[in-house]
Amino acid sequence: QVQLVESGGGLVQTGGSLRLSCAASGRTFSVYAMAWFRQAPGKERESVAAIRWNDGNTYYVDSVKGRFTISRDNAKNTVSLQMNSLKPEDTAVYYCAASRSVLFGRSAYLNGDYHYWGQGTQVTVSS
């Protein structure tokens, strides 16, 4: 099992920045990729960004490209999401997730099987 704990959410004005962090513990050696997802009220959960654990290769959905940056610290078993130029439509609960599957291609990293999930952290962007 892998346990994930997110932190760093909050309230920010349009155009502002937030940094989310996710700390992984447990059987972290089994993790192949990690990702951030979000779910806004009344909407389905959607992927935001993903990162391959061994080499840091990253993937983003179009709506956050150029604004969000996903990164990882292998030594600390953490993954972060730096969010800049935030918009009201970024308001959602953000979830950290980890996959033990070997994934191929951008679609798999953003929409593939993620086996472990954090509890979520609220991000609210005011207009």
**What digits encode the pLDDT tens for the residues 59-70?**
999 999 999 999
Calculate mean pLDDT across residues 78-103: 96
Give the type of residue at 61: V
Nearest CA to 125 among 35, 39, 9, 43? 9
Q: Which alpha helices (H) appear in 23-113, and where do they start and end?
A: 106-111
Residue 49 has pLDDT above 90, yes or no: yes
Residue 46 has pLDDT above 90, yes or no: yes
pLDDT of amino acid 91: 98
Split at pLDDT 50, 70, 90, the class of 107 is: confident
pLDDT of amino acid 93: 98
